[in-house]
Structure 1
Amino acid sequence: MKKLVLLFLIPIWAIAQGGGVSTIINPDGKWFFGGEMGRNTIESYSYGEGKRFIQGGISAEYYTGRHWSLSLKVKYFDTGVSYIKGDHNDFYPIDDYEAIYGIKRFKGAVFSFPINIKWEFRIHQNLRGYIKMGVADNEEVQSRYDYPEGIRTDYVKAYWNFNQGFGLTYFISNKMGAYIDVEGYNLGGYKGTDSYFFYTKKYFPVNTLFNIGFKYHFENESNKGKG
């Protein structure tokens, strides 16, 4: 957690020390377009798989007010799931559980199109914090199932899931901002099930993305005079 906090604060501190505008930026009514990249952690890998990858994307954001905005991104990242039938417990060593049931591993990659509503609040001058939430449309472009023979693998390749996150934005000028954030993708596009007496357990891909990005406002006549 300490490393994550430092990853948030050090880049923002460095940008702020480099200068910027002294007036408070009001982004109301402006479009910002940008790009981002960072780390992708596949939280739904559970049995020794490599979990961390590089991810990236582009974004478009429209501020409907000083504190609110709507955003659309196009992201590309790896995803996956691994599971063993049933819940592991202390009565059976994990090696025995693997031998009995076998590990099911799904490895994939998606183009994701998250749509978020964001609430932004001022921390100090043009440094702002924010929280966001929404949904994401995911389109699988890679799908590899390392499942035992006879186990279902015909799951959908297009699905929606929930998207939520938080972060920091620093407005360098009326036209440019830098940001860092963390966002999660979960509860969509399950890749396996277990049946119990009273319910069915589903195994979903779960990703946590850490982003570092820049966004730019291309000023036009209708935006002049706002700030």
Structure 2
Amino acid sequence: MIKTILIIICLSLFSGSVISQTNEIINPKGQWYFGVEMGINKINSFNNGESNTSFQGGILAEYYFSKHWSLSVKVKKFNTGVSFFQPSSSDPFCVFCRDQYSGTFEGSVVALPFSVKWEFGVYKNLKANLKIGYAFNIETKSTYSNYSNNISIDYPKQYGNVVSGAGLNYSINKKTAIYLDVESFTGSKKGHVVNLFGKKTYKVENVLTSFGIKFNL
């Protein structure tokens, strides 16, 4: 699926480059856009040196209810994970430790983020944006390993989280735009440690950088 999306984006970007550009300032108010995107997924919640980058992709539907504001929904598929380790109090280098805690979670999710976006002009039809929203996530892979006995792994496979992001959007003409999105996903708890300072929880954290093309049909 990811390879197919990549081919579509590459072909679309090529075709977009030969589409005649317009000097008219595009006003997208009242328009629907549909697009495809792909990019890099970085897992920020791996703490034990695991490989933390992979490819990700998705599709987009977006409606502009004013010149500078839009509502969007995406379907995204990406890998996620968490790892952590705290030694026991017998370790001389961990003065504040109590019991040993450890765990490694590796998973994949299909996410449906709903966002409201504010765009502002940079130069002609190049615009920057900020967004915030909510994502519903469904785990399609959930692998738990190296978990210490003092941690339950009975975590939900469906969960929600806040999504925030920023990006750029360039309208080639009235029908076609290319865009860059950087979005932050902080999701479900997947473990914890307890020391003299209290309890610290570990959640899945991803940053998705996506390049895409969208069309006003």
TM-score for both structures, normalised by structure 1: 0.79
For each residue in 1:152-199, what CA deviation from the matched residue of structure 2 results, as whole angstroms up to 9, or x when unmatched?
11100000111111111000110110001211001x310012345675
For residues 83 and 64 of structure 1, what CA distance do their matches in structure 2 show?
Answer: 44
- Mapping for residues 84-99 of structure 1, pairs under 5 Å: 84-85=85-86, 92=93
Secondary structure of 2:203's partner? coil
**Map of 1:123 onto structure 2:** 122
- In structure 2, what is the equivalent of residue 207 of structure 1? 206
2:35–2:214: 8 Å Cα contact kept in structure 1? yes
Rate the CA distance shift 1:193–1:103 in 2: closer, same or farther, 3 A.
closer
* Gap runs ≥5 in structure 2: 1-12
Task: State the match for 1:193 in structure 2.
Answer: 192
Q: Note the C-alpha offset of 1:47.
A: 1.0
Equivalent in the alignment of 2:4: none
What is the Cα deviation at residue 48 of structure 1?
A: 1.1
- Preserved contact between residue 100 and residue 148 of structure 2 (Cα < 8 Å): no
- Which residue does the alignment assign to 2:34? 33
SS in structure 2 opposite 1:190?
strand
Match of 1:217 in 2: 216
* 1:55 aligned onto 2:56: yes
Structure with more of its chain in strand, by fraction: 2
Q: Map 1:45-84 to 2 at 5 A.
A: 45-84=46-85
Question: Aligned partners of 2:87 and 2:138: how far apart in 1?
Answer: 29
State the identity as a percent: 41
Classify the secondary structure of the residue corresponding to 1:203. Answer: strand
1:167 maps to: 167
Q: Deviations over 1:30-74 (max 9, x none)?
A: 000001000000000011100000000001000010000000000
The Cα shift of 1:92 comes to 1.4
- What residue in structure 2 maps to residue 113 of structure 1? 112
Paired residue type of 1:107: E
The count of corresponding residues between Structure 1 and Structure 2 is 197
Deviating 4+ runs (over 6 angstroms) = 15-18
Q: Which amino acid aligns with 1:78?
A: N
Which 5+ residue runs of structure 1 have no aligned equivalent? 1-11, 219-227
Partner of 1:148: 147
Report the aligned-residue RMSD: 2.6
Shift of 1:86: 7.3
Counterpart of 2:10? none
Amino acid at match of 1:52: T
1:149, distance to aligned residue in structure 2 (A): 5.5
| d(CA) in 2 for partners of 1:207, 1:46 | 13
| C-alpha distance 17-165 of structure 1, shift in aligned 2 (>3 A) | farther
> 1:178 — aligned with what?
178
Report if aligned partners of 1:86, 1:194 keep a CA contact under 8 Å in 2.
Answer: no
2-structure distance, mates of 1:149, 1:47:
15
